[in-house]
Amino acid sequence: MTVEAEIVDLGSRAAPKKGRRLRAFLRNPNFVAGAAILGFFVFLALFASLLFADDPQAMVSSPLVWPGDDWQFPLGTDSLGRDVLARLAYGAQASLLVGIASATIGLAIGMVVGATAGFFGGRIDSVLMRLVELFQTTPTFLLVIVIVSISDPSLGTIVVAIGLASWPTVARLVRAQFRSLRESDFVMAARSLGYSRLRIIVQEILPNALPPIIVAASVMIANAILTEAGLSFLNMRDPNVVSWGGMIGDGREQLRNAWFLTALPGAAIAMAVLSLNLVGDGLNEILNPRNEQ
């Protein structure tokens, strides 16, 4: 076969491969289930203000209506007479926002640190890995509490705090990827062509290191949601923002007579986190080259 024929062949193979990828996503039950649940929560978060026009902080009914008792408030009302369903929808906004934003911060820091350590190796690597170890030794949740209590418990602070505390895992992962890819043929080729280091890192290595990072991202969002829930349960939260963890904290007072106030937001957290974990598991199965075929 001539060289040209080979190139044509490669080109024609690329198209069905894309189709196969998509089908691989759709055929993975974990991914489909996770994406469906996640899609539901995203929908809820995006259209909360359209679906529930009233202020979620406002008293709309008599307090402590049980779910199913009044169909105007299908999931009941809390001790201040606020609509639980509406609050759950608005809570989705806070949870997803904190989850995605802090995961983005954590990913950014982790990728820069991990890529630098893995690509350059040597002394830079050992110093950076010390730093990673330092942050991994410090209990994440305590670190977040310390950072939040230095400043005020606004949504922004919480996002930054969780992001700052969650990067070490990504850094380790990215470093491992970079260390193995650094020696690969295509990177050697790029080096011999005289590409700059930054170009090699960003254009050659990063795209190939991406699949496990994408999987890690979904798990990071899930963990950030859990951390945010814990924080707002402990009342370290923005008082103007409805959050699921905060709803659990409020509902805890009524644990004896209205446990649904605790159960519902907790179930919402569990479902949101579950969906992200399912997506992560699914992505892992699809993207992991060891699992192909």
Partner 1 sequence: MGRRIATTLRRAAIHAGPTVLGIVVLDFLFLQLMPGDAADVMATEAGSATEESMAALRHQFGLDLPLLSQLGNFLDHLAHGSLGYSPRFNTTVLDLILQRLPGTLLLMITALSFALLLGIVLGSVMAAWAGKWPDRLLSVVVLLLYSMPGFWVGLMAVVLFSVKLGWLPNDGSETIGAHLTGFAFLADRLSHLVLPALALASFFVAVYARLVRTSMLEVQRQDFMRTAQAKGLNPFLIQLRHALRNALIPVTTVAGMHLGNLLGGAVVVETLFGWPGMGRLALEAVLARDFSVLLGVLLLSSLLVIVANIAIDLLHAWLDPRIGEA
Kindly list the residues in this chain that would bind partner 1 in the complex (CB under 8 A): 130-131, 133-134, 136-146, 149-150, 222, 226, 229-230, 233-234, 236, 245, 248, 252, 255-256, 259, 262-263, 266, 269-271, 273-274, 277-278, 281
Instruction: Report the residue number, 100 or 271, with the smaller CB distance to partner 1.
Output: 271
**Which one, 94 or 278, has the nearer CB to partner 1?**
278
DSSP per-residue letters across 22-79: HHHHHH-HHHHHHHHHHHHHHHHHHTHHHH--S-TTS--S-S-PPTTT-TTSTT-B-T
Residues 6+ apart with CB under 8 A from 267: none
State how far the Cα of 226 lies from the Cα of 221, in Å rounded to an integer.
9
Q: Which is nearer to partner 1, 107 or 276 (CB)?
A: 276
Taking the C-alpha atoms of residue 81 and residue 252, their distance in angstroms, rounded to an integer, is: 16
Residue 192 token pair: 């011999």
How near is the Cβ of 38 to partner 1 at its closest, in Å? 12
Nearest to 242 by CA among 69, 45, 65, 70: 45
Give the shortest CB-161-to-partner 1 separation in angstroms.
12
Residue 147 Cβ, how far from partner 1 at the closest point, in Å?
8
Given the complex with partner 1, which of 109 and 144 has the nearer CB atom? 144
Between 119 and 135, CB nearer to partner 1 = 135
Q: Please tell me the distance from the alpha carbon of residue 249 to that of residue 266, in angstroms, as a whole number.
A: 10
